């Protein structure tokens, strides 16, 4: 028998009982001829003791044990003396006096300690993934993921969803990223595509009358790696028939509230906050804003146009924007060099040609551009930005996208730098009404922002051919603390409208049919 108990589950109720445990040697200490070992399995750690007076044979074997040796042991659970209690671990009130031990496997010295706080590089950790996954932090992540998927499945089952698997080897479809291609042996010169999402399959399921579908789906996208982007990933994929967007969003809120309560023990208030895409870009410079802190973007274009600062006036005349953020009470923390070099370096990768700034003082403002604003304009800026003495105002003047991207990045940078973000908060947010289409300079045509089957906002339907770029979509993202958790949309269910959509996208009839044909 390998074991009849788990290391991390032993308590004082086991005192006096004989147990057999299996696991890995976490640490070993030799004190006064008695060997103490922290034995670890998936459930946690327990201290086991080898005393030559209890078993000389077991002690002799234990004397040769090293870190990460794998063993089974048998012994009696005993209560620790009060002064020996270890409150840092769940099993700290007991230990196991060992009289039998079997060495299952030796181990070379690990390349890094099997503990949470390590300095090993990501490459080393990935190269020794089986060791990395032994660390409590990684194991806990897997447990949380398992609990999340279990909670999701329970919720969706209670709401009459059917779990349906869809094919992995499929046909390339018009979606956002490049496909991974798999050559066919049976059909030389032909290729399968790995699915970026089960997009068409779930629409076929709706046409089949399934009505409520879900899948914990594996997806593949050939795109550049980022911290939150991987070439293959898992998503909770869902589709519903005869359902309005607001009802669907309410159900998603219920699901996420359930997950947060059952997995993290946290109560999340409802309803979730909502912003349109336009509002999100206007206030935060991002379509996935972190709303755990303020410092929103402030439009000063009209005021700047009345100044004598040539750059501001030219931007306004060309249809650009002048916006600012107010870093409250931190003016004294930043020297001119820090603003001109360190903070400017944050915005320059986004196309900003400069970063103007003003420090608010009693009776006015000070800084390189202060002389371009008379007393009346200064008062208007102070009022618009809700500025007070000690505040630092940071300006970017440029095209709308450059202003949004650069100030949005600067806002996040300052939020982290100044400790403004409440790391314990979970701010869920709906971002709605994304643009339906965007113009691709590379392809010289409009392309779908989400996918070609997204329903336009009804009041924008009359502009789909005359002004496609202004049409809003019935699409939405779920955002948490600055990260996009997922996205969805209402599908086009009108044949004529779908034909019109394909036409705007520049699809020939043949391409339109092939894009969704199997």
CA-to-CA distance for 411 and 324, rounded, in angstroms? Answer: 10
Helix ranges (DSSP H) in 343-459: 344-347, 375-384, 400-417
129 labelled ligand-binding: no
Distances in whole angstroms, Cα of residue 433 to Cα of each of 87, 154, 437, 445, 468: 52, 30, 12, 21, 14
CA-to-CA distance for 140 and 133, rounded, in angstroms? Answer: 9
237 labelled ligand-binding: no
Phi, psi of 144 (to 5 degrees): -65, -45
Helix ranges (DSSP H) in 397-479: 400-417
Q: Which residue has the tokens 């439009």?
A: 299
76 labelled ligand-binding: no
Helix ranges (DSSP H) in 172-284: 199-207, 245-259, 277-284
221 labelled ligand-binding: yes
CA-to-CA distance for 146 and 152, rounded, in angstroms? Answer: 10
CA-to-CA distance for 299 and 280, rounded, in angstroms? Answer: 13
Distances in whole angstroms, Cα of residue 221 to Cα of each of 176, 197, 232, 283: 9, 9, 6, 31
175 labelled ligand-binding: yes
CA-to-CA distance for 234 and 112, rounded, in angstroms? Answer: 29
CA-to-CA distance for 102 and 7, rounded, in angstroms? Answer: 16
322-327-333-337 Cα dihedral, nearest 10 degrees: -20
Residues in the chain: 518
* Whether the Cβ atoms of residue 258 and residue 151 lie closer than 8 Å to each other: yes
115 labelled ligand-binding: no
CA-to-CA distance for 321 and 107, rounded, in angstroms? Answer: 63
Largest CA distance in the chain: 92
491 labelled ligand-binding: yes
Which of 22, 75, 81, 84 lies closest to 49, judged by CA?
A: 75
223 labelled ligand-binding: yes
72-73-78-84 Cα dihedral, nearest 10 degrees: -70
CA-to-CA distance for 74 and 76, rounded, in angstroms? Answer: 7
At residue 303, the 3 state secondary structure works out as helix
List residues forming the annotated binding site for L-aspartate.
175, 221, 450, 491
List residues forming the annotated binding site.
175, 221-223, 230, 450, 484, 491
List residues forming the annotated binding site for ATP.
221-223, 230, 484
């Amino acid at each position: 028998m390998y074991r009849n108990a788990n290391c991390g589950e032993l308590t004082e109720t086991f005192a006096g009982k004989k147990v057999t445990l299996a696991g890995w040697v976490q640490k070993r200490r030799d004190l006064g001829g008695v060997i103490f070992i922290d034995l670890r399995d998936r459930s946690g750690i327990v201290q086991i003791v080898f005393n030559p007076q209890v078993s000389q044979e077991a002690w002799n074997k234990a004397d040769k044990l090293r870190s990460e040796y794998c063993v089974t042991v048998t012994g009696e659970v005993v209560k620790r003396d009060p002064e020996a209690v270890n409150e840092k671990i769940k099993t700290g009130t007991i230990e196991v006096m060992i009289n039998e031990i079997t060495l299952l496997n030796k181990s070379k010295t690990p390349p890094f300690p099997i503990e949470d706080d390590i300095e090993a590089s990501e490459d080393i950790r990935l190269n020794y993934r089986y060791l990395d996954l032994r660390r409590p932090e990684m194991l806990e992540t897997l447990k949380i993921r398992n609990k999340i998927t279990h909670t999701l499945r329970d919720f969706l089952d209670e709401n009459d969803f059917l779990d349906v698997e869809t094919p992995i080897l499929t046909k390339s479809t018009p979606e956002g990223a490049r496909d991974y291609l798999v050559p066919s042996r049976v059909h030389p010169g032909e290729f399968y595509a790995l699915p970026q999402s089960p997009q068409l399959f779930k629409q076929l399921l709706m046409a089949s009358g399934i009505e409520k579908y879900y899948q914990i789906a594996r997806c593949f996208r050939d795109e550049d790696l980022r911290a939150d982007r991987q070439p293959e990933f898992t998503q909770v994929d869902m589709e519903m028939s005869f359902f309005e967007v607001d009802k669907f969003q309410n159900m998603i809120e219920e699901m996420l509230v359930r997950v947060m309560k059952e997995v993290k023990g946290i109560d999340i208030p409802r309803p979730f906050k909502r912003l349109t895409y336009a509002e999100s870009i206007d206030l935060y410079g991002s379509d996935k804003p972190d709303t755990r802190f303020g410092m929103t973007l402030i439009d000063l274009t009209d005021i700047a146009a009345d100044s004598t600062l040539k750059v501001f006036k030219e931007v306004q005349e060309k249809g650009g924007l002048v916006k600012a953020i107010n870093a409250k009470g931190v003016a004294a923390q930043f020297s001119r060099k820090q603003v001109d070099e360190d903070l400017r370096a944050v915005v320059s990768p986004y196309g900003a040609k400069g970063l103007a700034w003003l420090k608010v003082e009693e009776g006015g403002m000070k800084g390189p551009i202060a002389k371009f604003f008379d007393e009346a304009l200064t008062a208007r800026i102070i009022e618009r930005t809700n500025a007070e003495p000690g505040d630092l105002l940071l300006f970017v003047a440029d095209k709308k996208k450059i202003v949004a991207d650069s100030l949005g990045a600067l806002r996040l940078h300052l939020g982290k730098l100044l400790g403004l973000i409440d790391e314990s908060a979970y701010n869920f947010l709906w971002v709605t009404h994304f643009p339906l289409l965007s113009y691709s300079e590379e392809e010289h045509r409009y392309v779908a922002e989400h996918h070609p089957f997204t329903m336009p906002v009804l009041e924008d339907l009359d502009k789909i051919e005359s002004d496609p770029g202004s049409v809003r979509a019935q699409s939405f993202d779920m955002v948490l603390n600055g990260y996009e958790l997922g996205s969805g949309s209402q599908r086009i269910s009108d044949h004529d409208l779908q034909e019109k959509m394909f036409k705007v996208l520049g699809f020939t009839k043949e391409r339109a049919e092939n894009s969704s044909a199997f």
